[in-house]
Amino acid sequence: MDHSDHVKLLRDGVLPGGEQVWADFGAGWGAFTLALADLLDRPASIHAIDQNRAELGRLQRSMMERFPQVNLITHPADFNQALDLPPLDGLVMANSLHFQTDHLATVQRLARYLKPSGRFLIVEYNIKKSRPWVPYPVSYGRWQHLADQAALGETRKLGSRPSRSTREIYSAGSWRN
């Protein structure tokens, strides 16, 4: 997958309009943070949270090179701990929920950072059986169930891409209308 694939996966989950504040939980080197930066109107702020400080450093450099107008704030931290974040218009969890042992607790915790109409976007492998690199999978059906349990609002599939090793990678969004 390349940058245009990342953008396509998130596109239908991002509303137009400037001055939005988003967060990417488990941002890594920022594949989806950069996609968000491409999609958000200006001015825009993105908080990138990851426990891997080196990956966040790489993201800072890429953002500066490619989208210098976006206000990027990095948080080297465990996103299951309390974070100092403003109310969010939206958040992305891309390939990071499948590392959490208690999906629902994480989703509920992160959803508290959202504004009432804030959008919870997810990118995950659509598999049910765990793999070494996907220890706690979040299939689309599992996400629908979690989003219902966490009362996130209506859920829709936003996109998908074929994946050689795991059949499909999908994106979904849940929010209240």
Ligand X SMILES: C[S@@+](CC[C@H](N)C(=O)[O-])C[C@H]1O[C@@H](n2cnc3c(N)ncnc32)[C@H](O)[C@@H]1O
CA 26/CA 32 separation, integer angstroms: 10
Residue 31 Cβ vs ligand X, minimum distance, rounded to whole Å: 4
- From residue 94 to residue 123, the character string flagging contacts with ligand X as x (rule: CB under 6 A) and all else as - is xxx--x------------------------
Stretch that binds ligand X, among 83-91, 92-100, 112-120, 165-173 (CB under 6 A): 92-100
Stretch that binds ligand X, among 26-34, 60-68, 107-115, 159-167 (CB under 6 A): 26-34
Residue 130 Cβ vs ligand X, minimum distance, rounded to whole Å: 14
Residue 99 Cβ vs ligand X, minimum distance, rounded to whole Å: 4
Tell me which amino acid residue 101 is: T
**Under rule CB under 6 A, which residues in 45-84 are in contact with ligand X?**
49-52, 55, 78-80
User: Closest by alpha carbon to 143, among 128, 162, 132?
Assistant: 128
174 binding ligand X? (CB under 6 A) = no
Beta bridge partners of 173: 121, 156
Beta-carbon contacts of 168 under 8 Å, excluding residues fewer than 6 positions away, are: 125, 126, 160, 161, 162
CA 41/CA 15 separation, integer angstroms: 9
166 binding ligand X? (CB under 6 A) = no
Q: Give the interface with ligand X as residue ranges (CB under 6 A).
A: 26-28, 31-32, 49-52, 55, 78-80, 94-96, 99
